[in-house]
Homo-oligomer: A and B are copies of this chain.
Amino acid sequence: MDIPARVTVLERVPLFKGLRPDELEAVAREAHERKLEKGEVLFRQGEDAAHSYVLGWGRLRLDQATPDGQNVVLRFMGPGDMVGTVAVLRRIPFPATPLAIEDCVILAWSAGRTAELMTRFPAIALNAVAVVGGRVEELQARLSEIATQRVERRIASTLLRMARQSGRRIEGGVEIPFAISRNDLAEMTATTLHTVSRTLAAWEQEGIVSGKRGSYLTIAQPHRLVEIAEQA
């Protein structure tokens, strides 16, 4: 990407909201570019946080290995999401591994450059607090759901959250435009693969969702899913 192309990417990124065009250009000039093919990782959990990243195109799945060696899906990330910035600022090793689930183009800044740019343009740092704060809220909402709701409601809430964040309106409903396995859903809702499969099969039969093999999951009747998510 040349500098104007990078600026076009950066001006839609929440982290850089409110920056003037000349400021965005300065940020774009300091970036390195990385391409990832589907199946590659951007970095590995435990590595030194030497760079912070912004995802330009593509999708990542953020995986975390627990001390027991189990895998937990933390979140899915799409264009405009920041990756690794917190670890850079906290000077801790990366706490998770971002795996490309589509081909990706990523902009990268060294750790020193990240802090320097935030100091030169404090709006970036203020935006970063807001972005990371949004993640706190999302995680707290998931914890509240797990603590208080039946499994069926948690699965409904999780699907609606993903549809809100990344959904694409298509004929037949709202499509979640990346591969999400039943196992991913089980990890995200703290339940078993069996329960997720049973719940989704029931919803498919009722026409609430459709998820044929080889295609993405589509929410055919979002209002029914909202009803399930909200029922006490």
Contacts and interface: CB of A to CB of B under 8 A. Distances in A.
Interface of A: 64, 66-68, 70, 72, 74, 85-87, 89-90, 95-96, 115, 118-119, 122-123, 125-126, 128-130, 132-137, 139-140, 142-144, 146-148, 187-188, 190, 230, 232
Ranked 4 nearest A-B pairs via Cβ: A86-B133, A125-B125, A139-B139, A122-B122
Contact of A143 (B67, B85, B136, B139): B139
B132 A136 contact: yes
Nearest to A96: B140
Contacts of A90: 130, 133-134
Contacts of A115: 126
Given A86-B130, A143-B190, 6 more contacts: A72-B143, A74-B143, A87-B133, A90-B134, A125-B128, A139-B143
Contacts of A139: 136, 139-140, 143
A119 B126 contact: yes
Given A119-B122, A190-B143, A130 B70 contact: no
Contact of A129 (B66, B72, B128, B144): B128
A86 B139 CA distance: 14
Task: Please state the number of chain copies in the assembly.
Answer: 2
A184 to B, nearest CB: 11
Nearest to A144: B72
A142 B144 contact: no
B148 A68 contact: yes
A144 to B, nearest CB: 5
Nearest to A231: B68
A179 to B, nearest CB: 20
A225 to B, nearest CB: 15
Contacts of A130: 86, 89-90
A143 B144 contact: no
A136 B135 contact: yes
B125 A187 contact: no
A183 to B, nearest CB: 11
Given A72-B147, A122-B122, A143-B143, A89 B133 contact: yes
Contacts of A230: 67
Contacts of A96: 140
A66 B147 CA distance: 10
